Amino acid sequence: MLRNSSDDAAATPPIKGIIGTGQAMQQVYAITRQVAASNASVLLTGETGTGKEVIARAIHELSPRGSGPFVRVNCGALSESLLESELFGHVRGSFTGAVANRAGRFEAAHTGTIFLDEINSTSPQLQVKLLRVLQEREFERVGDTETIRVDTRVIAASNRELLDEVACERFREDLYYRLNVVPVYLPPLRARREDIPQLVSHFLEIYNEENDRFVTHIHKDALEALVKYHWPGNVRELQNVIERCVVLATGDEIDLALLPPTIRGETVGPAVPGRGGDLDSLARELVEQGMTTAAEDDANLFERVVSRVERELISQMLAACGGVQLKAAARLGINRNTLRKKLTEHGLEDGE
């Protein structure tokens, strides 16, 4: 990307390990450096795949706690009971399978940072305990009465708008404000398209080395398609695409034919009888099936159409991955726990 000299002078230096020099990322770099010097709690928000864990780690490494531990917990990957034990530890005999005392992640992160990913998936009961840790810096292990004090910085992340979760009474308002001392928003890749060529070069270097390949060029048509694509899976999806291209390339260049059909602008999956490819025809089909009525407002209709498209995309991706959920989740740019929730929502638990 070309910038004039005044832009260069005002630019915030990039952070090691984070790719992108566009204006959107300049703002992220500036606030990341500023908040790192403090002990304030940080709430990272943004779509799945935008790099929240990378920013969380950067905040830790740039902070006075950088020499201490950085502990990550995916709150959406564990059940409530397992998550409580994972965070706070347990004592022997506190539940079936607790054969020994075990320290939790908050203890492991003492003098360092704990990163609570997908904080929006925690239960109201667990949120009460998290609030206490943030306020009092103390807790008890599961099944114990001894209070443990810790010096741990908390960085949390959510791929949903937590204020909406508060409004729906799924997330405690007091915990939200304790977490949201300094909010950092990670822009989606479609909002920072100028960074895509640099990201492509970065991932090419990584996957050439990992696979002992020498795919060092990308055709201008392929790069143009990558820049124009809307990237619902964000940087993680781009990373997967470049890895695929490096593995499948027969020469030293990525051309347009190597890119997935969706990026080339082609329709994915088998044709569905009786349906056109556009939103209007899908909406008409929903009316005919009694799933909605022509008189419903646009917002409701939009939600139903999006839900139907999401269901079919997940179903097709599972079929393409032979029913392997972990692989399908990776290709969709979401984690396996999120995929499981979507399968339940859409009635696809049995692999329909």
DSSP structure string for 179-193: HTTEEEE---GGG-G
pLDDT tens-digit readout, 21-55: 899 999 999 999 999 999 999 999 999 899 999 99
Q: Which tokens in the block code for residue 165?
A: 């979760």
Q: Where is average pLDDT lowest: 174-183, 200-209, 316-325?
A: 316-325
Report in angstroms the alpha-carbon separations of 282 from 11, 138, 256, 277, 288. Answer: 46, 54, 29, 8, 10
Rounded CA gap, 105 and 123, in Å? 18
Nearest to 40 by CA among 64, 18, 16: 64
Domains in the chain and their CATH numbers?
Answer: 5-187 (3.40.50.300), 192-266 (1.10.8.60), 271-352 (1.10.10.60)
67 within 8 A of 51, measured Cβ to Cβ:
no
The DSSP secondary-structure symbol of 244 reads H
Instruction: Look up the pTM and report it.
Output: 0.71
**Quick one: average pLDDT of 258-269?**
78
Rounded CA gap, 34 and 46, in Å? 19
